Structure 1
Amino acid sequence: MHPKVKPALRRAWRERQTVQFGVTRAHAVLVGPVDTATGSFLELLDGTRGLPLLREEARAMGLPEGRADALVERLAEAGVLDDPAGGGAAADALRERAGVVERLRPDLASLSVVHREPGAGMARLAARRALRVQVRGAGRVGAAVAALLAAAGVGRVDVLDGGFTEEGDVAPGGLPYGSVGERRDTAARQLVRRSAAGGAPREAERARAGGGEPALALVVVAPRDGLAVHAPDPVVAETWIASGTPHLYAGVIEATGVVGPLVLPGGSACAGCLALERADRDPGWPRLLAQWRSGRGVTGAQACDVGLATAVAGLAAAHALAFLDGELPGTTGARWEVSLPQLDWRSSRTAPHPECPCGAAGGRRGERLAEALPPHDTMTASPA
């Protein structure tokens, strides 16, 4: 290990013997007491020295025997240190692609802050390269989600949609004006290729050469018709439920953006649970929904504010990436909504329904998934 203070954590002296690493309440860490010699030792943690050399430097500074190891261990546990050579074989392979790493450097810095153990950021960035995600929908939300996932290093992003690109599909970060008139799926594939860091990952290239097809890690359901997100059709989700494929809903209807729920089949509420729960609360809901799904009442372009659509796409992509990186984001079993003009995000839980055949109401899969994930470190963090 060649310890290095994480570049993303800004360092400042809170007072003469206390150093604060990081600015925000969520990630800031206080280290103290720090005397003059220890402060000088901290300057050496720049990734160019291994532990043997750091021990020698510590002795030359007059630090007691064993202090270098203790400081490195303490800082690593607190999430302050990274290992520039850590992360395993996949991370080593990614480092060989210098251009890709430089393109993803800001994402790597973020991952290093979120995942505290040394080398964990690079390990997760490398793991994204082997994942396959499907985005269903290439409108203002879906196309932007696909582009964001590709830009964040997800190795394979497939986009499914029909028809041809219309002028109303065009949005910054999504389909460009030059794609108007092209098939939506073709235009979306081109967008994904342009957005991806360094082109197709070698992992995906090897899989295609060997005829292999990586399993879907996640489906993002972002249809151009926001009704299919506000009131998702259980029939459409049957295949994902049967195959155990996690799926996340995201879209805009009228002037309201929706992100979630993230459905873990057998572990959290699905589209069927949502439909049954809504019918329990509102007996007239199924009749209304049948009319809306038939197209009755649709007289013009669907409302999809470009700013709102972009915000929804950004939040959906962030939640998708958190899940792909091994976390359970806030949309797991919950729905986030925001409406114009106040733009106040609000969340509501989506509980499994006892009569839904998905089995989530009587299963413990969601709890087992949560138990299997590494817990967040609870080192002392200062207020921002």
Structure 2
Amino acid sequence: MHPMVKPALRRAWRSLRCVQFGITPAHAVVVSPVDPGTGELLALLDGTRGTELLRAEARARGLPDGHLEALLGRLAAAGLLADASNGRPGKPGSGAGSGAAAGAAAGAGAGATVRDPLRADLASLSVVHSEPDRAVRTLAARRALRVQVRGAGRVGAMVAALLSAAGVGTVEVLDSGRVEPWETAPGGLPAEAVGERRATAARRVVRRWARGGTRAGPTGGATGQGDGRGSPGLSLVVVTPRDGLGAYVPDPVPAGPWITTGTPHLYAGVLEATGTVGPLVLPGGTACACCLQEELTDREPVRPRLLAQWRSGAPHPLPACDLALATAVAGLATAHALAFLDGDLPASTGARWEVSLPLLEWRAERLRPHPDCPCGAARGGEGERASAAGSAQDTMAG
């Protein structure tokens, strides 16, 4: 083992015997008391030394036998310890030696020369997860996942690109028609894709941002059709319709097969300068599209008549989808998707987050399972089933 204090957390001494790791309240940890010898030993926990060498360093400073182990135990319990010998699975030459080198470079700060595009993602995961090797295992687990993005407009194309860039193994994009000029965006479909088939253009974007270890789909890259041949089951469906109505008021009909098969799905989109992220639906555990429609009908009996008119005919020819708002929605939706794929239950689980121009104040609405909905979430107990689903995802990610 080559122990190191997680380099992503900045270190500052609050006093001569009290050190703080991290700045933000969500992840900062204070360690106290710290005597001078232990403080010197802390400075050596940069991943370049194995435990035997660290024991010798501790003895040279007059620290008693077992002091190093006690310090490492304290740091591990506080979620501050990482093992540089793990490296990142899937990288060429990864192993104990290369992992130690990567850890040493990570602790070297600005002078580090490791050229790993997922290095910052790994650092973020190390902050989020307390276990020393959880970040490495989580990033490796993403390679085995298969996510389907349904819709390749401004929001959907960016979500697909971000998921691919974050290390998700297989990202499929389903859509029809051809790219319109107003659907292009930085980070999404490029300007040169105008007139091209949306699925083809989106597949190229996904392939461009794919990281090492990405699984090739049936077409030799991230797939555009999602026929599932030779690929694992869907881990998640992200519904990002170009006409944001399908995300703002989800249609229960397309969601029927996902409810039947127990496939988790997340809605995200922009409608009339209003962005939405959620709900993340855990079939049988949280409110689904049908639950939401039933609830809206209870509040406003005329709602079915309105929905029938809004959903009928051709999609709206020119959605009001602001570029910056679409980017914000795509980023938040991807972050929620990754949190779920990594084994957590994000705030969109059974809830919807909404933001509107020009004030851009995010609002959250909790969605309850409807007793008349055939999905069964209301009868099964939302909290219990959601927790069980979270545990299942944690097992998968681990």
* Same fold at TM > 0.5: yes
Which AA in structure 1 matches 2:67? Answer: R
User: Of the candidates 157, 175, 200, which is equivalent to residue 143 of structure 1?
Assistant: 157
Q: Is 1:33 matched with 2:70?
A: no
Choose from 310, 335, 340 the match for 1:318: 335
Correspondences of 1:33-112 after superposition (within 5 Å): 33-86=33-86, 91-94=88-91, 96=93, 102-112=116-126
Q: Distance in 1 between matches of 2:215 and 2:57?
A: 41
Of the structure 1 ranges 182-191 and 120-129, higher mean CA displacement relative to structure 2 is found in 120-129
Instruction: Write the distance in 1 (CA, Å) between the matches of 2:114 and 2:349.
Output: 31
**Offset at 1:347?**
0.3
Residues 101 and 349 of structure 1: CA distance in aligned 2, closer, same or farther (over 3 Å)? farther
Structure 1: state its 5+ residue gaps: 375-384
For residue 361 of structure 1, the aligned residue among 378, 382, 397 is 378
Instruction: State the Cα RMSD in Å.
Output: 2.5
Q: Counterpart of 1:338 in 2: which secondary structure?
A: strand
Distance 2:376 2:91 in 1: 40
SS of alignment partner, residue 7 of structure 1: coil
Contact 1:129 1:203 in 2 (8 A): no
- Give, as a single letter, the amino acid of the residue that structure 2 aligns with 1:325: D
Tell me the CA shift for residue 295 of structure 1.
3.8
Give me the whole-angstrom Cα distance separating, in 1, the residues matched to 2:117 and 2:361.
33
Q: Report what 2:101 is aligned to.
A: none
Tell whether the 8 Å contact from 2:176 to 2:197 is kept in structure 1 after alignment: yes
In structure 2, what is the equivalent of residue 344 of structure 1?
A: 361
Structure-2 residue corresponding to 1:378: none
Distance, in Å, in 2 between the alignment partners of 1:329 and 1:94 is: 29
Indicate the residue corresponding to 1:246 in structure 2.
264
Aligned residue for 2:359, secondary structure, equals coil
CA change 1:116–1:263 in 2 (3 A) is same
**Aligned partner (choices 237, 248, 252) of residue 230 of structure 1:** 248
The reply on whether 1:290 has 2:308 as its aligned counterpart is yes
Q: Could you give the per-residue CA deviations for residues 181-230 of structure 1, whole angstroms, max 9, x where no partner exists?
A: 1100000000001111237348998xx9xx62111100000010110111
Aligned residue number for residue 131 of structure 1: 145
Question: Within 1, Cα distance between the matches of 2:90 and 2:248?
Answer: 42
CA 1:155–1:373 in structure 2 vs 1: closer, same or farther (change >3 Å)? closer
Using the TM superposition, give the Cα deviation of residue 86 of structure 1 relative to its aligned residue in structure 2, in angstroms: 3.4
CA-CA distance at 1:285 after TM superposition: 0.6
Structure with greater contact order relative to length (CA < 8 Å, sep ≥ 6) = 1
Greater Cα shift, 316-325 or 355-364: 355-364
- Comparing 300-309 with 24-33, greater Cα deviation is found at 300-309
Q: Residues 11 and 19 of structure 1 are in contact (CA less than 8 Å); yes or no, is this contact kept in structure 2?
A: yes
The alpha carbon displacement at 1:62 in A equals 0.9
The answer to whether 1:330 aligns with 2:342 is: no
> Contact 1:130–1:203 (CA<8 Å) still a contact in 2?
no
The 1:238/1:93 distance shift into structure 2, 3 A limit, reads same
* Cα distance between partner residues in 2 of 1:373 and 1:160: 24
Question: 1:159–1:371: structure 2 CA closer, same or farther, 3 Å change rule?
Answer: closer
Structure 1 residues 165 and 199, CA gap change in structure 2 (3 angstroms): farther
**Given that residues 163 and 183 in structure 1 are in contact (C-alpha distance below 8 angstroms), is that contact kept between their aligned partners in structure 2?**
yes
Tell me the alpha carbon deviations over residues 271-323 of structure 1, each in whole angstroms, 9 at most, x when there is no partner: 0100111101110111111011114895x511000010000000000000000
> Tell me, which stretches of 5 or more residues in structure 2 are unaligned?
99-112, 224-228
Q: Tell me which residue corresponds to 1:171.
A: 185
Cα offset, 1:100, TM superposition: 10
Name the residue aligned to 1:377. Answer: none
Per-residue deviation at 1:368? 2.1
C-alpha spacing 1:242/1:296, structure 2 compared with 1 (3 Å):
closer
- Amino acid corresponding to residue 25 of structure 2 in structure 1: R
- How far has the Cα of 1:59 moved from its partner? 1.5
Task: Name which of structure 1's ranges 63-72 and 244-253 shifts more when overlaid on structure 2.
Answer: 63-72
2:350 alignment partner AA: G
